[in-house]
Each structure stands twice: as C-alpha cells, then as structure tokens.
Structure 1
Amino acid sequence: MTDGYYRFPTIHEDTIVFVSEDDLWSVPRAGGMARRLTSNLGEANYPALSPDGELLAFVGREEGMTEVYLMPAGGGSAQRMTYLNQRCQVLGWSADGQYIHFATTHGQFHPDEYAIYRIAANATAGQVAPVPVGPARSIAFGPAGAIVLGRNTGDPARWKRYRGGTAGHLWIDRSG
C-alpha cells in the first residue's frame, strides 16, 4: 500500500495501526505490507492500541451514529461497546489498560459540545461513565498522574488567531 490517504495513526512497539479507505490497517513499524484489519460496510476511525498492544479500540459507524468498538489488535470480530447514538471519538486508554477514554456529544446541551467518558474494556457494552472534568474534547494522562485537557480544540483552522470565547485552550492539572 503506497498510495492513499492515511489518517489517525496509533503505535505500540513495532505495530502501527492507521485508517485508510474508511478501514483499519496494520503495518510493522519497520515497513512492509499493510494488512487490512476491518472490512465493514461502515467507516472506522480514531484507532487506539491498548497499552499492552493486545486490543484495539476505535470508532465505527455501522448503524447510524458513530459508536466505540473493541477488537483484537491482530484482527477479528469487533464488539460494540457503546450505544449512545451520538458523535464520539476514541481518545486513548488508561495507563493500566482497564479503560477506554472517548469524547462524545452524549448528554450535552449544545450539539457541538463534547464531554469525556470512559468504559471498561472488559465491561458489558453500554456501561459508560463520565470523567468529571467538564466539557473537553481531548485528554492525556502523565506518568505521575498529571492531566492535560483540550477544550474547544475541534478544528484548529476554525480558531487559529481567533481571540474570542471559543478559542481552543489546554488546561493542565499537574496533581491529577
């Protein structure tokens, strides 16, 4: 696979997973032949490999709105994890690999406002819990518990050099 539009890469050790042609693909970090992991009718986006590299969380659109799915990183059947019927985006995993974090418009008053939720990787599908950080579109966890939140960070082109109230912000909590 040399030609194409490659998006949303996620890396774990020697494995890279990315999106092309609305499907997930895997390729060795050293290069070589890419292997298609999904071949669904709907699109797949925002992949995130688990910290141990065994599982792959992603957003799929099989029946209407996007939902969070989970599958073995080497390929196989995907399990639908959410039933929110709202836009969502997988953000990543907790450091211990127990939770998948994702941003969604579920439960928000404004249709373009996102909040962060999590679901246990071994949970029964649909058991989501909000992460109590307020409206945010992205989150990252530091090794010592620090948290970085992205607020109003949907499309940088929309707020580049903009100084009004919806400009993007990064909030940092060093203590977690």
Structure 2
Amino acid sequence: MTLRSRLLVAVAALAALLPASLAAQSTRLLHQPDVSARYVAFAYAGDIWLVPRAGGDARRVTSSPTVEQDPHFSPDGKWLAFTGEYGGNPDVYVVGVDSGTPRRLTWHPGPDLVRGWTPDGKNIVFVSTRTGVPDAEPKLWTVPLTGGLPEALPVPRAQAGSISPDGRSIAYQLVRPWENEMRNYRGGQNQPIRVLDLGTYAVQKLPWTDSRDQQPVWLGHTIYFISDRDWTNNVWAYDAETKTLRQITHYRDYEVESVNAGAGMVAYEQAGDVHLYDPATGTDRKLDIRVTGDFPWAMPHAVDVSKSLTAP
C-alpha cells in the first residue's frame, strides 16, 4: 500500500469516527435544574426536559414556539410545575412527570413565575407583581395544584423564596439585581437572604456584609443559596440549627447560575452543565446529559438581515 493510500484510509477512518464522537458529547447550555428522587428537570432551548438522575438521554416534556422555564418538582416527584408562555404571557403551569398535558393555573396579564412548592405538595409557589400598583413590587403567592384563586404569602416583597420543610419559615430574596451580570458588584442592589417566621413574623437575616446573595432553597434544616462573597457566584449553605455558614462550591471561572434542591440532593447549573451535590457524602457530580431533537432553529435557513445592517 502506497503512502497516499495509507493516508486516505486514515482520513476515512477518522471521518467515520468523528460523528460518533460528536454524538457522545454532553449537551451544554442546560439551565435551571431541579431534582427529584428519580429525575432531573432542566430548561433547554425554551423547553422543559427530563433525564434520569444518573444522566443519559433526556426526554422532552414541553414543545412549543414559546418559552417554558423554571421547572420545579412537587415534593412527591409526581408533578412538575413550570413557567410557560403558551398564551403569550408567563403563567404557572403543571404537568404530570410520567404523562399528561400541561395545565394552566394562573391567568393574570402580568408575569407569574414559578419558584417552588409548599411542603405538603398541594400548592405551587410563584412570584407575581399582580398587586404591586403603582410600583409593581414582586411578592410570593401560592396557587392550588387542583386550580383555584391564588393567595399571597405574608412577605411584603420578594423576588424568590422557599418554604422550610416543616412549613414554619420562608427563606426569601428581597430583590433581583437589575445588573445581575456585573461581576463583583458591591452596592445597594445587593441584599442578604432573609428568613420569615410564619408564626411570629420575625425576620432573621443570614450572615452578610455586601455580597450578592440569591435563590435560597431549603433542604432539611439547611438553606442553600448562591453568593459571590468569594468574588464568584458559588453555592453556599446556612445551617438554620447551628447558625453556621459554609461554602459548597469553589469555582473561579464560570459562575453558578441557578440552584435548587430536592430528594436529598442539590442541583445547580455551572458553565452550561448540570451538577448534583450530595450533602450526606459531600460529593459533587457533573451529569452527562444528551439532548436530541429536530431543533429547526439550528438548521441552515435564510434570514432577512437588511434591517439589522447599520453600515454599507
């Protein structure tokens, strides 16, 4: 066999292996993961997806031209609440994990954004500005899984929140920084995580100096949240019993963008990947998740860019 023939054979072999290697790669840009005893839910390309906790091939839960986001499992893992825009407005929807059609639960013309569930699994917690006239201040609300009128939680203002497993307290984020992409920001947009006692209405602030602390979630007697107190958004944990604070992740490059917890695990998004952290063992695992579909937006297509041209 000549040298040229050998090179052609080698190139052909590499070409045959390339598609297989690309297919084996994990999908990135996975957002807002949540975890149940069986599955991990996440948002990708404007849809909600499910994958086993071990990772692998994901299954699409929603499919529409609009955006679905904020997936949250019910405490028993049978239901998945999410924010959907099927009607042209962000509203609360719920769907069975194993089967079913998404069912709409809120109808206000303003945005209703899912934040979680009540511990008994009977209500979905969401944030809304529906009574915030004229300042449109966001507040936490609940709406029954079976449908009905939403009820406000006794928190004057909150952008995100999570009810403790015993139902006695709410950990909440007061405001959403309107310059959330500004790294190492220190200013008035930053606020501590607060905990409201639903019996006495006393408010406790978690240890804080000037960092950007966001997205509190309960798991057992611990509040997990995102903080940039080490100058990068990482996952931190506050033990409500011992009053101690500790750092869970130590990233320095890409920041942690979202965190949720359930079924004994903490799920978070970092660098477009989904991670599961096990508090019982202290182990952290990046999931190998593969998302496949037609994805028409990724296919070659013609686009009229004449209106986007600013110079000849």
TM-score (norm 1): 0.88
- Equivalent of residue 175 in structure 2, options 152, 156, 169: 152
Question: Is the Cα contact below 8 Å between 1:38 and 1:75 reproduced in 2?
Answer: no
Deviation of the 1:154 alpha carbon:
4.6
What's the CA shift string for 1:43-65, capped at 9, x where partnerless?
10001110011111100011222
Question: Is the Cα contact below 8 Å between 1:64 and 1:85 reproduced in 2?
Answer: no
- Equivalent of residue 167 in structure 1, options 187, 190, 204: 190
For 1:117, what is the secondary structure of its paired residue?
A: strand
Question: Is the Cα contact below 8 Å between 2:177 and 2:190 reproduced in 1?
Answer: no
2:263 matched residue in structure 1: none
Deviation of the 1:130 alpha carbon:
1.1
Greater relative contact order, per chain length (Cα 8 Å cut-off, separation 6+): 2
Instruction: Provide the identity percentage.
Output: 27
Residues matched between the structures, number:
172
User: How many Å separate the matches in 1 of 2:33 and 2:177?
Assistant: 18
Structure richer in strand, relative to its length: 1
Gaps of 5+ in 2: 1-24, 200-312
User: How many Å separate the matches in 2 of 1:91 and 1:105?
Assistant: 14
Question: Is the Cα contact below 8 Å between 1:153 and 1:169 reproduced in 2?
Answer: no
Question: Is the Cα contact below 8 Å between 1:68 and 1:88 reproduced in 2?
Answer: yes
In the TM superposition, 1:77-156 aligns within 5 A as 77-108=101-132, 109-111=134-136, 113-124=137-148, 127-144=149-166, 145-154=168-177, 156=180
CA RMSD, aligned part only?
Answer: 2.0
User: How many Å separate the matches in 2 of 1:2 and 1:159?
Assistant: 28
For 2:57, what is the secondary structure of its paired residue?
A: coil
User: How many Å separate the matches in 2 of 1:128 and 1:73?
Assistant: 23
Q: 2:95 is aligned with what amino acid? A: M
What's the CA shift string for 1:119-161, capped at 9, x where partnerless?
010124xx11111211111112223422212101355446954
Taking structure 1 as reference, are residues 102 and 86 closer, same or farther at Cα in structure 2, changes over 3 Å only?
same
In the TM superposition, 1:66-77 aligns within 5 A as 66-77=90-101
Deviation of the 1:5 alpha carbon:
1.3
Greater radius of gyration (CA) = 2
Taking structure 1 as reference, are residues 159 and 170 closer, same or farther at Cα in structure 2, changes over 3 Å only?
farther
TM-score (norm 2): 0.51
